[in-house]
Amino acid sequence: MTVALEAEALHHAYGSTATLRGVSLKVRTGSLLAIVGESGSGKTTLLRCFNRLVEPTAGTVRVDGVDVRGTPGDALRRRLGFVPQTGGLLPHWSVLRNAALVPRLIGHADPERAAAEALTLVGLSAAEFGGRLPHELSGGQRQRVALARALAARQDIVLLDEPFGALDALSRAVVHEAFEHVRAELKFTAVLVTHDLAEAARLADEIAVMRGGVIEQIGTLDTLVRAPATEYVEQLLLRATAAVRPLVGQ
């Protein structure tokens, strides 16, 4: 088993508020880890440690076994795909140009062709949508473009920061489908931050439950359901039971 991403004893604080208090985890190459928790649990801070948008005050982050402190932030970030919560598409750039951003940054021979392929993978035809501006798309379409942008340079690792949280249920289902399709094609490693246990259950291989800057438990959904490590995990599962039950087959 190879490990794509690894965090070891991470600590971080904003001023006097501790956000990470000794977090360690490993993400297997090709797997998807979902980090679930309430806002303020430290899940987004943890995610941002992987591409050096946040520098931990103590501890080590490794990507493909190499300490990230040896790589400049922007160079590292070009290697790791990223999908933010609101898409964050550049409003004055066409869909195709947006999707071509990272290929362009890394000096790809034909950024637009790479972008068009990525758009096709997420189910948007470059011929139809490539020339449009982001505000001419629906919210779900915008998130699919953001996904294509994160993958256009064929990144092996993708970080997703609550990318589907702002969508209505219907478009979320469409985007989930697109996401699963792309992942089946490209088989990248992913870390997905979400507050939605049902989403985690649907997409993730493993789930880490965070609270107050520590990981309460990490494991498959089955493990979490059968042997919740803490009362908090149990509560979380209970609250989500209605949504989770059909997925765990009870």
Partner 1 sequence: MSSARSPRMRMCRVLQPAVVLLLGLGIPRHVTAQATPERPAVVVASKPFGESFLLAEMFAQLLESEGMRVTRRPGLGATEVAFEALRTNAIDVYPEYTGTGLLAVLRDSMTTAMREDPRRLFARVSDEFVRRYGVRWLPPLGFENGYAIAVRRETAARYGLRTLSDLARASGALQAGFTSDFIGRPDGFVGLRAFYGISLRSVRPLAPAVKYQALSTGAIDVIDGYSTDGLLARFDLITLVDDRHFFPPYEAAVLVSPRVSAERPDVIAVLSRLSGRLTESDVRRWNASIEVDQRPIADVARGALTELALVRAAGTATVAETPRATTTGFLAYSWARRAETWRLIREHLVLVSIALAAAILVAVPVGVLLTRTPRAAAWVMQGLGVVQTIPSLALLAFMIPVLGIGLAPALVALWLYALLPIARATYSGVSNADPDAVAASEALGTTAWQRLWWVQLPLATPAVLAGVRTSAVITVGAATLAAFIGAGGLGEPIITGLGLADSRLVLSGALPAAALAVVVDLVLAAVERAVTPAYLRRKRTGA
The C-alpha atoms of residue 50 and residue 47 are separated, in whole angstroms, by: 6
> Quick one: which segment of 10-18, 77-85, 182-190, 192-200 binds partner 1 (CB under 8 A)?
77-85
Q: Is 82 in the site for partner 1 (CB under 8 A)?
A: yes
The C-alpha atoms of residue 79 and residue 238 are separated, in whole angstroms, by: 38
Strand order in the sheet with 3-14: 17-28, 3-14, 58-63, 66-67
- Applying CB under 8 A, the site for partner 1 has a residue count of 27
Q: Of 13, 18, 105, 174, which lies in the binding site for partner 1, with binding defined by CB under 8 A?
A: 105
The C-alpha atoms of residue 174 and residue 176 are separated, in whole angstroms, by: 5
The C-alpha atoms of residue 143 and residue 127 are separated, in whole angstroms, by: 18
Q: Is 119 in the site for partner 1 (CB under 8 A)?
A: no
Q: Of 33, 63, 76, 121, which lies in the binding site for partner 1, with binding defined by CB under 8 A?
A: 76
> Quick one: which segment of 13-21, 27-35, 86-94, 171-179 binds partner 1 (CB under 8 A)?
86-94
What three-state secondary structure class fits 1?
A: coil
Q: Of 5, 20, 101, 224, which lies in the binding site for partner 1, with binding defined by CB under 8 A?
A: 101
> Quick one: which segment of 14-22, 115-123, 132-140, 225-233 binds partner 1 (CB under 8 A)?
132-140
Structure tokens given for 165: 């949280």
Q: Of 23, 27, 126, 146, which lies in the binding site for partner 1, with binding defined by CB under 8 A?
A: 146
Q: Is 166 in the site for partner 1 (CB under 8 A)?
A: no
**What letters, b where the CB count within 10 A reaches 16 and e where it falls short, cover 127-142?**
eebbeeebeebebbbb
Helices (H) and strands (E) in the chain, counts: 11, 10
Q: How far is the CB of 149 from partner 1 (least distance, A)?
A: 7
Question: What DSSP letter does each residue of 189-210 carry, written as one string?
Answer: EEEEEES-HHHHHHH-SEEEEE
End-to-end CA distance of the chain: 31
Q: Is 86 in the site for partner 1 (CB under 8 A)?
A: yes
Q: How far is the CB of 51 from partner 1 (least distance, A)?
A: 7
Element (H, E) at 136: none
Q: Is 87 in the site for partner 1 (CB under 8 A)?
A: yes
Q: Is 226 in the site for partner 1 (CB under 8 A)?
A: no
Which residue in this structure is represented by tokens 């589907």?
Answer: 164
Q: How far is the CB of 211 from partner 1 (least distance, A)?
A: 25
What three-state secondary structure class fits 122?
A: coil
Q: Is 163 in the site for partner 1 (CB under 8 A)?
A: no
> Quick one: which segment of 54-62, 112-120, 127-135, 189-197 binds partner 1 (CB under 8 A)?
127-135
Residues in contact with partner 1 by CB under 8 A are: 51, 53, 74-79, 81-82, 84, 86-92, 101-102, 105, 133-135, 146, 149-150
